[in-house]
Structure 1
């Protein structure tokens, strides 16, 4: 597969170095090294109350500030080491740079994005390899969903995108159930959340890409040792839009239910999560039950983030942030809600390099409660709890 390289090697090298130090934690990990601990986490873990797993549990505080406004249908946010971020907008296919001074600038539109229904530009993941910063993007094209990567060059405040390179194509697309979240895991591989694209039975077919969590290398090849010898890592999913790893290395995924139960699942290699035969807790030996469930009016979960042993889930229809404390791969207590009804629909959640939680709202796609005519990137301070 041909690599496309621009001319600003010095800018890419500087950015890649910064990514290796600070950004891998935000997107999952670097393709070359495991994710570092955010500085605030390294400083506080030993001094704060801890759960039985030895990692702290965390709660959203009332300290909420606005980092950016004027967004339109934002879908994914990736923090940058200098304090800014990259943000994808679903409907216009644009990637924005939030600069350190709070201003927004257009980095560029992703070529080939065809928006419609719930499809468009979705998840972003940032990593570095061989001294080059690389931005991965999941989006809806004319006939399918696909993942590409682009070199990211320049200095903060003037970042540019290089030529796109296809990583994985042929993921089924529909007006709904398109999945869309991507993240690099602690193993250095790229995890891709797909929806069933309204082809329900495909979720149980290990040879189909829809209704799955996929695991591929940075070049898009199936990872050796994947359960079925292809790109598929787990099956039986309806519409996964959140991926995150807790401090013990456990992979978690949020999943939209149909009419009754939304889910938070602990993901295992080769696991079958039941859809379309089961929604919520099925109690069947051949399927893995969710760790936590909500009615669809309480959640409709999209992006998730993890700090220590706590998983934070952004709720769309539920218009709230859920926190689930985990230990040993299970829920350690009942989920706790925050921000209920305060910011409208919540689309994405990530842990920033300083240990705070960043949240994207999603009220400008015609589905939310009446809100101001733009969307926001919020910063929420987290506090430890025992």
Structure 2
């Protein structure tokens, strides 16, 4: 809509505002989007969020929100008032895992259950984490959520790649995406990881599943974080690729989407050779470089006619909203539009009101910017917030016009902005190693020797051992929390005590561990302060 029309709407708005009842105070203006024939006002609904994951429009016409730390909140979409109405006590929150997806019972009037998928930890005695996830449901009494009731359990997990999104289908069944959890078996229908699962509301396996007594609906997924049914019953999922080929897939029963042997389209020589002997379904769209494809919804309302019949996809790394117009069959993307790249930062999820308002949550305070800060120059400061996109009525247009030069008009982006590479090697600079060497001399050399050789059968070496060059998370936790009792290093059992170094700040711990991992013949990638920060959460 041309801004030449705004003075007209200003006049109309002033006239309309002079009669009738007093309207509720508008939510704070953030920006507005000018489409071909529609203006969308962007307002802030609520702020102060910490690691939000799922945003859903509830059957009670309130917004519902999960946060990774295990809290479920309910938000008045008119005022932004937020109330915490439940928590998961045994959630395992660190990095990108914790309390994840949420959905609602389809027969809410009779069974007002909220379904939640979250990650938990199984205790072990070898200082390695065994991570799993489960689905629970909690009954809503109008004020609080009741105690969690386990619906489906023992999904293999990891400190990364746990999915997840949930949705009830038109068939009344519960669909859940699971990540590959860094394991194999994503194309093995007997394994739960790397799948879309289909369950009855009580967690049992539907009698009409494609494989008897098996919850697998589709397979070969890496880490799907968007899931939505279109009005015609077709199911779509958005999925994270590795360093290439984020995907948008149309999910069909028992189809194999290829991971880890095929990423994106079947266009590499190895992928073509693999697909020659395996039935692989290609995505509708694949993005390279990856955009961090996250929450997904289908726009069926009339409020924004330019977006009707499109999938709405928010992106983390790409920091944008993508509008993916489907063709008449729903089997192809006819057009892709991109909005507000790098304006509001990382976008985790979205939901729609029955009237066609679009609600989006940012994810600027999660782990990723701390792990890969070079990718996020100019990222908005936290805490995270909920934004609403609503078709501007006459009063809204009047408010926008009154802002004058203070207004922030946005339009469709003509092309994707360049994204930095996700280089996970973290090479250390000589300055990093010098800092770490000094800290090592102060805190570690007396026991482990200046050359990392240890002390015979008394104190373990730091050279050539998976304790040092392997799982960074385990190494960080061991140094922060200390060790006592027996451990085995390179086939030798040691039984001594190492004090905890959690008093050291994140940057110093990162520096000394980087020095250890890259000295005396060790050749492992560096530790950065963001990784220490995330592991420190487990000590609180």
TM-score range normalised by the length of the shorter chain: 0.7 to 0.9
| TM-aligned CA deviation for residue 80 of structure 1 | 3.1
Instruction: Provide the residue aligned with 2:293 in structure 1.
Output: 301
| TM-aligned CA deviation for residue 130 of structure 1 | 6.6
Alignment gaps of 5+ in structure 1: 1-57
| TM-aligned CA deviation for residue 289 of structure 1 | 0.4
- Structure 2 matches for 1:85-164, cutoff 5 A? 85-90=63-68, 92-99=69-76, 100-127=78-105, 128=107, 131-142=110-121, 143-154=131-142, 159-164=143-148
Q: Distance in 2 between matches of 1:382 and 1:102?
A: 18
Instruction: Provide the residue aligned with 1:11 in structure 2.
Output: none
Instruction: Provide the residue aligned with 2:217 in structure 1.
Output: 233
Comparing 127-136 with 355-364, which one deviates more in the overlay?
A: 127-136
Q: Distance in 1 between matches of 2:118 and 2:205?
A: 20
| TM-aligned CA deviation for residue 137 of structure 1 | 0.2
Instruction: Provide the residue aligned with 2:388 in structure 1.
Output: 379
Return the index of the structure with the highest Cα Rg.
2
Compute the TM-score of the two structures, normalised by the length of structure 1: 0.79
Question: In proportion to residue count, which structure has more strand?
Answer: 1
Q: Evaluate the alpha carbon distance shift between residue 272 and residue 95 of structure 1 in structure 2; reply closer, same or farther with a 3 A threshold.
A: same
| TM-aligned CA deviation for residue 83 of structure 1 | 4.3
- What SS does the corresponding residue of 1:279 show, helix, strand or coil? coil
Q: Evaluate the alpha carbon distance shift between residue 332 and residue 256 of structure 1 in structure 2; reply closer, same or farther with a 3 A threshold.
A: closer
- Structure 2 matches for 1:217-256, cutoff 5 A? 217-229=200-212, 230-256=214-240
| TM-aligned CA deviation for residue 61 of structure 1 | 5.4
| TM-aligned CA deviation for residue 313 of structure 1 | 0.8
CA contact (8 A) 1:357 1:382 kept: no
1:188 to 169, 172, 182: 172
Q: Distance in 2 between matches of 1:270 and 1:252?
A: 14
RCO higher in 1 or 2 (8 Å CA, sep ≥ 6)? 1
CA contact (8 A) 1:88 1:122 kept: yes
Compute the TM-score of the two structures, normalised by the length of structure 2: 0.57
- Give the aligned CA root-mean-square deviation in angstroms: 2.0
Does 1:208 pair with 2:191?
yes
| TM-aligned CA deviation for residue 150 of structure 1 | 0.4
Question: In proportion to residue count, which structure has more helix?
Answer: 2
| TM-aligned CA deviation for residue 169 of structure 1 | 0.7
Structure 1 outlier segments of 4+, above 4 Å: 58-62
Comparing 282-291 with 106-115, which one deviates more in the overlay?
A: 282-291
| TM-aligned CA deviation for residue 141 of structure 1 | 1.0
Q: Evaluate the alpha carbon distance shift between residue 357 and residue 129 of structure 1 in structure 2; reply closer, same or farther with a 3 A threshold.
A: closer
Q: Evaluate the alpha carbon distance shift between residue 338 and residue 59 of structure 1 in structure 2; reply closer, same or farther with a 3 A threshold.
A: farther
Q: Distance in 1 between matches of 2:199 and 2:210?
A: 12
| TM-aligned CA deviation for residue 272 of structure 1 | 0.4
Instruction: Provide the residue aligned with 1:343 in structure 2.
Output: 344
Instruction: Provide the residue aligned with 1:176 in structure 2.
Output: 160
- What SS does the corresponding residue of 1:333 show, helix, strand or coil? strand
Q: Evaluate the alpha carbon distance shift between residue 178 and residue 60 of structure 1 in structure 2; reply closer, same or farther with a 3 A threshold.
A: farther
Instruction: Provide the residue aligned with 2:43 in structure 1.
Output: 65
| TM-aligned CA deviation for residue 111 of structure 1 | 2.5
Instruction: Provide the residue aligned with 1:30 in structure 2.
Output: none
CA contact (8 A) 1:60 1:380 kept: no
Instruction: Provide the residue aligned with 1:41 in structure 2.
Output: none
CA contact (8 A) 1:180 1:194 kept: yes
Task: Describe the superposition over 1:324-369 as per-residue Cα deviations: whole angstroms up to 9, x where unpaired.
Answer: 1113132242321112111100100112122121111101114244
CA contact (8 A) 1:261 1:280 kept: yes
Instruction: Provide the residue aligned with 2:249 in structure 1.
Output: 265
